[in-house]
């Protein structure tokens, strides 16, 4: 994937237009928590007719990879999250960060520090012994040191006072300056630190609304101090609760699928995952099912809850089933063709596929399940399940199947109405119940005891294929009894 980089000066929206951003680090896939953060920012921008910016935070050069960039972009595209600007890459913006570092040095808000790692460790140990927080003691703060190869740049945190975060979700949080130390904003190699690069990006990209996980709350006082030192207006902050597993611990691999692409591979519709992720921490009355357009229309920051979202795979699957049922047949066909071809079914767009999908739409919880359930329509050799053989393939069923074959031969127009009549004639002739004939025929046609409606199946398979399968089933029973 080629990096696409747009000049940050292109932003020319009016100051009261909402501008949000999603800034993933390309050190892995797009995970559930990241995807939800992206969705909240994207939905709010769309709801407010604002702008959504994608920014790749790749200053950690050791861990950042192009493969991860591609995975993140593909995940966002699959979810249908389009960005209005970007992706910007922090690694291409180093000169911008350096110019802002210089601004802070020039105004006396930052200084060069040459303390070694050992010196800083000793300072922390001394602080702990004195019953204080382990932190840098400001040794170089007033020295006015020049720039040297081994010097870092530190920000001067006020010794006294507080910084207040007025958060849309968390409300009013007060941070004591005595809890902070003079944190590094530029490393000795010239690279910016996370907290500094973030605020420079947000300032230069005119981001005025920051929606992110509440694990970032502890970073916020440092960022607010930097905004104030640069005399820039603060954005609106909304720190959203984390996504947890059912055991109330932070969501991780042991809870199951974590990356967006894993959910795609499980046969989850992007619309269903979007719906589910947004509902993890946001609500609109008791409504559970939302189309993407409804989410855009109804999303607001004030309805973000303060409790952590609990990820429940079973609820996602149930919601996915609802989205499959609500989906347009032609849309499902487009998604199903590659899945069917992967399992050896020669599927192609057309009436046959549409009929197949129609019979399975209300019976399938995932696209993978739908593909598996569609297999019998395409195979030349039906595989009978053991349980189905024992239950339905008895010597008593062969004369019933043979009687139905005779009826099917006489049908000139192969439709559900005529097929149903044929079955009823066999029931009348033999005196058996409908189920005694329908179940062996179902197994003969599909290999299973559960399937879509028997008349639907026979009509879709067509006269020749249906009769051939019944004949093979009779032969199978005769051979095995």
Task: Return the bridge partners of 239, or none.
Answer: 212
Q: Which of 151, 182, 187, 150 is nearest to 61 (CA)?
A: 187
On whether the CB atoms of residues 81 and 87 are closer than 8 A, the answer is no
On whether the CB atoms of residues 434 and 354 are closer than 8 A, the answer is no
Q: How far from each other are the two terminal CA atoms of the chain, in whole angstroms?
A: 61
**SS3 at position 309:** strand
Task: Return the bridge partners of 310, or none.
Answer: 244
Q: Which of 68, 81, 85 is nearest to 26 (CA)?
A: 68
Radius of gyration of the chain (CA): 32
Does 87 sit behind a cis peptide bond, omega within 30 degrees of 0 on the bond before it? yes
Tokens linked to 359: 């019979």
Sheet bearing 110-113, strands edge to edge: 110-113, 152-155, 184-186
Angle between helices 367-378 and 329-342 (to 10 degrees): 70
Helix (H) or strand (E) holding 185, with range, is strand 184-186
Whole-angstrom distance, CA of residue 393 vs CA of residue 396: 8
Task: Return the bridge partners of 282, or none.
Answer: 304
Angle between helices 270-279 and 66-79 (to 10 degrees): 90
Whole-angstrom distance, CA of residue 181 vs CA of residue 196: 15
Does 465 participate in catalysis according to the annotation? no
Long-range CB contacts (within 8 A, 24+) of 281-285: 281/36, 281/240, 281/241, 281/243, 281/305, 281/307, 281/308, 281/309, 282/40
Q: What is the 3-state secondary structure (H, E, C) of 411-443?
A: CCCCCHHHHHHHHHHHHHHHCCCHHHHHHHHHH
Whole-angstrom distance, CA of residue 37 vs CA of residue 24: 10
Whole-angstrom distance, CA of residue 143 vs CA of residue 361: 73
Residue in the structure block whose two tokens are 């994608």: 54
Q: Which of 253, 362, 409, 433 is catalytic?
A: 253
**SS3 at position 22:** strand
Q: What is the widest separation between alpha-carbon atoms in the chain?
A: 106
Q: Which residue numbers are catalytic?
A: 253
């Amino acid at each position: 994937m080629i990096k696409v980089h747009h000049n940050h000066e292109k932003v020319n929206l009016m100051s009261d237009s909402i501008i949000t951003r999603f800034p993933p680090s390309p050190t892995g896939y797009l995970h559930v928590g990241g995807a939800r953060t992206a969705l909240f920012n994207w939905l709010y921008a769309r709801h407010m007719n604002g702008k959504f910016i994608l920014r790749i935070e790749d200053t950690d050069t050791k861990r950042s990879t192009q493969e991860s960039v591609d995975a993140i972009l593909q995940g966002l595209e699959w979810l249908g999250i389009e960005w209005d600007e970007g992706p910007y890459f922090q690694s291409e913006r180093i000169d911008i960060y350096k110019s802002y570092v210089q601004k802070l040095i020039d105004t006396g808000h930052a200084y060069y520090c040459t303390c070694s790692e050992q010196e800083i460790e000793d300072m922390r140990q001394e602080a702990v012994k004195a019953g204080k927080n382990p932190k840098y003691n400001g040794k170089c703060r007033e020295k006015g040191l020049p720039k040297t190869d081994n010097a870092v740049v530190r920000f001067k945190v006020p010794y006294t006072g507080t910084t207040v975060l007025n958060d849309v979700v968390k409300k009013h949080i007060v941070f004591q300056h005595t809890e902070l130390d003079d944190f590094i904003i530029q490393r000795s190699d010239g690279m910016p630190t996370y907290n500094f690069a973030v605020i420079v990006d947000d300032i230069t990209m005119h981001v005025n609304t920051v929606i992110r996980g509440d694990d970032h709350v502890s970073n916020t006082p440092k960022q607010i101090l930097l905004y104030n030192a640069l005399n820039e207006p603060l954005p609106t902050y909304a720190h959203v609760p984390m996504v947890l597993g059912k055991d109330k611990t932070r969501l991780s691999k042991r809870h199951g699928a974590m990356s967006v692409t894993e959910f795609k591979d499980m046969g989850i519709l992007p619309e269903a995952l979007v719906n589910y992720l947004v509902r993890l921490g946001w609500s609109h009355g008791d409504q559970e099912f939302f189309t993407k357009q409804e989410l855009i229309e109804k999303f607001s920051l004030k309805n973000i809850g303060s409790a952590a979202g609990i990820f429940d795979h079973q609820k996602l699957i149930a919601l996915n089933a609802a989205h499959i049922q609500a989906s347009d047949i032609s849309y499902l066909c487009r998604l199903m063709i590659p899945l069917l071809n992967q399992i050896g079914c020669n599927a192609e767009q057309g009436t046959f596929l549409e009929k197949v999908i129609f019979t399975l739409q209300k019976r399938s919880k995932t696209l993978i399940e739908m593909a598996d359930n569609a297999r019998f329509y395409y195979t030349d050799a039906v595989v009978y399940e053991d349980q189905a053989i024992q239950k339905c393939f008895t010597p008593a069923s062969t004369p019933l199947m043979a009687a139905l074959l005779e009826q099917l031969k006489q049908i000139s127009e192969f439709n559900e109405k005529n097929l149903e009549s044929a079955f009823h004639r066999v029931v009348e002739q033999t005196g058996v119940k409908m189920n005694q004939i329908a179940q062996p025929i179902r197994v003969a046609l599909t290999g299973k005891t559960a399937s879509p409606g028997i008349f639907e199946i026979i009509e879709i398979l067509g006269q020749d294929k249906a009769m051939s399968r019944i004949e093979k089933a009779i032969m199978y029973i005769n051979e095995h009894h």
